[in-house]
Amino acid sequence: MNIIVPVKQVPDLVEELEINDEGTDLERDMLKYRMNEWDESALEEALQLKELHGGTITVLTVVSGDADVDEMLYTCVAKGADRVVKVVGDFEEQHDSHTTARALAAAMRDMPCDLVLTGVQAADDLDGQVGVLLATFLDLPHISVVSGIEVDAAARTATVHQEYAGGIMATFEVDLPAVLGVQASRAVPRYAPVSRVRQAMKTARIEEIEVGVAVGSGATVRRMFKPEAASHAEMLEGEPEEIVERVIEILRERGVWRV
Amino acid sequence: MSMAEHDVFVIAEHLEGRLSEVTFEMLGKARQLAGASGGRVVAVLLGHNVSTLAARLGAADLVFTVDDAALAAFNPERAVQELKALLSKEQPMLTMIASTSMGMDLAAALSAALDWPLIAYCSDVQAQDGKIVATSQIYGGKIAVEAESQGAHTIISVLAGVFPAAEGQADKVPTVQSVPAAATSAGRVRFKGLTVPEAGDVDITREALLVSVGRGIGSKDNIGLVEELAEALGAALCASRPIIDSGWLPKQRQVGKSGLTVKPKLYLAVGISGAPEHLQGMKDAELIIAINSDAGAPIFEVADYGIVGDLFDIVPLLSERLVEVRA
């Protein structure tokens, strides 16, 4: 069972996001990046499948922008990835999904695998989800928003659930290799202790594959802005005791319960 | 045919014999766009025995149906094959697809297959000087992007709940044109069945008072704190997606896009930042009070009252006082 897990770094949404002076992109100098959380679920699912079926996990990331991806890749090794690969080329300033997917597709052409697991989406997918684009470029079947992946290695199929609103789920069987957009892994993504990451930094090797691909998505950013909220909550301020009394007053006024 | 360059196509979405609300929301917006550009609104409906559903798409000037036993249930591979064939023949100016689980499998695949630009997660769209300009909500709804398509044909994926559905509902009977299925061979993706969740011990869609917990609670050990708050208030406990994915509360308690939509009298959100997928499921609650450590959290844009602070200070105190005043 050889699994490829394409991952990417995205700005950490816990931090305040600032927009550049031109109003065309985030102010990237100050950004703190983290691994896309859905990609973390995809990696976890890959690790779980490796534990069940054996095989290898190759993590690929397309290097774009000025984000330093080494620590993310070493963390993947510390969690159990076998190979970590940077896909590089003349697209460093590109952040779009189409370019990313083309670069991944080019890198994967000579990299046979049984399954491709990636996060179903990322916070910056302005031009669509990388997994679906990648599958289409490689002519592989794809299913998005999946959980509960079961692999039948002998039959070369996977059975997966696709989630809809209201908790309704479809079950699909798909021929392998396939690209699955992982919504949730069967277990919470594992944590890699700092000591293991440090060890990976000393022993693991980050490979590089250079590819040449067309860049751009056909959609250009005219303007980036912080959406103005149509309304905003009335903020309750003060000491916790005062806030709590005010909440109780509001609940009473609004007839939330009868006292 | 001659007007195709101004046509707006809407890919209808349905599940279990029902058209989804977002289909009508998109049709309403499509009417407005087509009115301005002089094109037609064309709905596309894939399925099996779909004439009853097609009749409900009267806001469209024309409905293409592809009716085939193999399309009875959604299948991403089959749907892309059929839509690719139809769209490449019809060449519409704009194709609108819902930003849902099904739509996610369609929009990007069609963009790559047809080499038409895609703008995802759209909350608005217009045609300006023959160009499609759409507003996309990214970075968890914290940033909006006005993006311009450079193509003659554009695909957008549309967020649910941003356009009024009423404008996409019409009593008139639409013209329906049946299109033969393009794909005939067995595919690589096979639909096996649909699972509808069993009712849980509590139906959160019927509860008047809800306490909802999110990622801010930190760990499973702290869930007890919000359970106590719910009990003190006489409310049911529900949660945002990360809590359900972590297995800390059952799936039947999930509020949001892939969970349930609730409209309680009170929605008390604890440690929920308010990703668009969550807001979609609770923004119509009568009274929303939110506690979060981040003053910039989007939950405060839908809440009536907001508290920026440490939930571990506020929640136990609130539980304690509620028990006292309700005793």
**Same domain membership, residue B125 and residue B10:** yes
Q: Is residue B188 part of a domain?
A: no
What pLDDT, on a 0 to 100 scale, did the predictor assign at position A154?
94
Q: At what angle do helices A130-138 and A97-108 cross, to 10 degrees?
A: 40
In the stretch 293-312 of chain B, residues with CB closer than 8 A to chain A read: 294, 296, 300-309
Q: Do A256 and B120 touch (CB under 8 A)?
A: no
Q: Measured between alpha carbons, how far is B112 from B110 in angstroms, rounded to an integer? A: 5
> B109 and B75 in contact (C-beta within 8 Å)?
no
Interface confidence (ipTM) of the complex: 0.92
Q: Do B143 and A17 touch (CB under 8 A)?
A: yes
pLDDT band, very low/low/confident/very high, at B1 (cuts 50, 70, 90) = very low
Q: Do B139 and A143 touch (CB under 8 A)?
A: no
Q: Measured between alpha carbons, how far is B45 from B83 in angstroms, rounded to an integer? A: 10
Among A99, A127, A130, smallest CA distance to A213 is for A99
Q: Measured between alpha carbons, how far is A129 from A185 in angstroms, rounded to an integer? A: 18
Give the mean pLDDT of B276-289: 92
What pLDDT, on a 0 to 100 scale, did the predictor assign at position A115?
98
Is B19 in CB contact (< 8 Å) with chain A? no
Q: Which residue is associated with the tokens 């990622």? A: B215
What pLDDT, on a 0 to 100 scale, did the predictor assign at position B139?
92
pLDDT band, very low/low/confident/very high, at A228 (cuts 50, 70, 90) = confident
What pLDDT, on a 0 to 100 scale, did the predictor assign at position B144?
94
Which of B178, B196, B227 is a domain's end point? B178
> Burial, B95: exposed, middle or buried (Cβ in 10 Å; 0-12, 13-18, 19+)?
buried
Q: Is residue A50 part of a domain?
A: yes
**Same domain membership, residue B41 and residue B169:** yes
Give the mean pLDDT of B104-117: 98
Mean pLDDT over all residues of chain B?
93
Q: Do B144 and A227 touch (CB under 8 A)?
A: yes
Q: Look up residue A143 and give its two tokens.
A: 């299913």
Give the mean pLDDT of B206-212: 95
What pLDDT, on a 0 to 100 scale, did the predictor assign at position A93?
79
pLDDT band, very low/low/confident/very high, at B3 (cuts 50, 70, 90) = low
Q: Is residue A250 part of a domain?
A: no
Q: Is residue A145 part of a domain?
A: yes
**Same domain membership, residue B135 and residue B14:** yes
Indicate the number of domains in chain B.
Answer: 2
Q: Measured between alpha carbons, how far is A182 from A6 in angstroms, rounded to an integer? A: 11
**What are the residues whose beta carbons fall under 8 Å from the beta carbon of A103, sequence distance 6 or more?**
A62, A87, A89, A91, A211, A213
Which one of A9, A17, A127 makes the best mutation probe of the B interface by having the most chain B beta carbons within 10 Å?
A: A127
Q: Look up residue B222 and give its two tokens.
A: 């702290």
Q: Do A259 and B247 touch (CB under 8 A)?
A: no
Q: Measured between alpha carbons, how far is B255 from A166 in angstroms, rounded to an integer? A: 9
What pLDDT, on a 0 to 100 scale, did the predictor assign at position A259?
41
The CATH code of the domain that includes A135 is: 3.40.50.620
* Residue A145 scores a pLDDT above 70: yes
- For A50-67, the pLDDT digits (tens) are 999 999 999 999 998 777
Q: Measured between alpha carbons, how far is A171 from A79 in angstroms, rounded to an integer? A: 29
- Residue B119, helix vs strand vs coil: strand
What pLDDT, on a 0 to 100 scale, did the predictor assign at position A157?
98
Min Cα–Cα distance to chain A from B148, Å: 5
What pLDDT, on a 0 to 100 scale, did the predictor assign at position A258?
53
Strand-pair category, B118-128 with B131-138: antiparallel
What pLDDT, on a 0 to 100 scale, did the predictor assign at position B282?
95
Q: What residues make up the domain containing A38?
A: 2-210
> B202 and B236 in contact (C-beta within 8 Å)?
yes
Among A201, A187, A178, A180, smallest CA distance to A76 is for A201
Q: Measured between alpha carbons, how far is A141 from A150 in angstroms, rounded to an integer? A: 16
% of chain A beyond a pLDDT of 70: 98
Min Cα–Cα distance to chain B from A9, Å: 13
> B137 and A125 in contact (C-beta within 8 Å)?
no
Q: Is residue B191 part of a domain?
A: no
**Same domain membership, residue B258 and residue B168:** no
* Residue A13 scores a pLDDT above 90: no
Among B101, B150, B146, B115, smallest CA distance to B129 is for B150
Q: What residues make up the domain containing B19?
A: 4-178
Q: Do A219 and B188 touch (CB under 8 A)?
A: no
Q: Is residue A132 part of a domain?
A: yes
Mean pLDDT over all residues of chain A?
93
- For B151-162, the pLDDT digits (tens) are 999 999 999 989
- Residue B6, helix vs strand vs coil: helix
Which of B131, B161, B178 is a domain's end point? B178
**Same domain membership, residue B114 and residue B251:** no
Q: Which of B187, B192, B309 sits opposite A171 (nearest CB)?
A: B192
**Same domain membership, residue B172 and residue B71:** yes
Least confident of A117-121, A163-167, B220-224, B235-239: A163-167
Indicate the number of domains in chain A.
Answer: 1
B255, amino acid identity: V
Sign of the dihedral through C-alpha B80, B85, B86, B91: positive
Q: Is residue A36 part of a domain?
A: yes
More confident site: A187 or A178: A178
**Same domain membership, residue B170 and residue B212:** no
Q: Measured between alpha carbons, how far is B213 from B223 in angstroms, rounded to an integer? A: 8
* Residue B2 scores a pLDDT above 70: no
Q: What is the DSSP letter of B140?
A: G
The CATH code of the domain that includes B148 is: 3.40.50.620
Q: Measured between alpha carbons, how far is A8 from A67 in angstroms, rounded to an integer? A: 10
